[in-house]
Amino acid sequence: MADQQRCPWCGDDPLYMDYHDNVWGRPEYDDLALFEKLCLDGQQAGLSWLTILKKQANYRAAYDHFDPQRIARYDDGKIESLLQDRGIIRNRLKVQSIIRNARGYLDLQAQGHSFSKFLWSFVDGAPIQNQWRSIEEVPVYTPEAEAMSRALKKKGFNFVGPTIVYAFMQAVGMVNDHLTSCPQHAVCRELSGQA
């Protein structure tokens, strides 16, 4: 693929280009993969996604591979050890948010909800196929992201404002926001079963 065809936001960093080509926009339905991604998008607040992407392996190690059962039991001692971990963003509110989100995830599960079905319900279970021609056309958030944000907050999640939630929706393929000139637009559309 010629570099100039990619969506311009990924620049020329090899890690970012690989993420763009093989992850971003591809429909994800696995509960735990969605939980991890939502938590990581919250960690991005105020930072670039590339910063978090470079730390993703460190986050998996620090947070027990994003096992909600384990994370929900973290105590003050564990929080303090995470705040000393140079491999992650050492911000108390962000550390605590992952714990809160794990508890919200488990509460949803206890109520008989699949995390995946809950999240995908905001797009009626199928990726929205956008047709953006330029990066300037792509919204920062949408009514669907606002609705998901409100619902997640009601369930006890935090660092889930509409902008964070929309970035999450883009990444996990709930919306296809690859530009129409990008080869990945057609790939993601095909993966959604809507080709």
Which H, E and C letters describe the chain, residue by residue? Answer: CCHHHCCHHHCCCHHHHHHHHHCCCCCCCCHHHHHHHHHHHHHHCCCCHHHHHHCHHHHHHHCHHHCHHHHHCCCHHHHHHHCCCCCCCCCHHHHHHHHHHHHHHHHHHHCCCCHHHHHHHHHCCCCEECCCCCHHHCCCCCHHHHHHHHHHHHCCCCCCCHHHHHHHHHHCCCEECCCCCCHHHHHHHHHCCCC
pLDDT for 45: 87
Q: Which residue, chain included where needed, has tokens 């509460």?
A: 107
Average pLDDT of 67-83? Answer: 98
Compute the C-alpha angle 65/69/74, nearest 5°: 85
**Phi, psi dihedrals of residue 176, rounded to the nearest 5°:** -100, 95
pLDDT for 3: 44
Query: Whole-structure pTM over 0.75, yes or no?
Result: yes
pLDDT for 1: 42
Burial category of 113 from C-beta neighbours within 10 Å (exposed 0-12, middle 13-18, buried 19 and up): middle
Task: Compute the mean pLDDT over every residue in the chain, rounded to the nearest whole number.
Answer: 94
Q: How confident is the model at residue 46 (pLDDT cuts 50, 70, 90)?
A: confident
- Domain with 32, as residue range(s), is 3-191
- CATH number for the domain including 131? 1.10.340.30
pLDDT for 195: 59
**Phi, psi dihedrals of residue 128, rounded to the nearest 5°:** -80, 125
Q: Please report, as a single letter, which amino acid is at residue 68.
A: P
pLDDT for 115: 97
Average pLDDT of 188-193? Answer: 90
Q: How many domains does the chain have?
A: 1
Cβ pair 169, 148 in contact under 8 A: yes
Q: Please report, as a single letter, which amino acid is at residue 171.
A: A
Q: How confident is the model at residue 54 (pLDDT cuts 50, 70, 90)?
A: very high
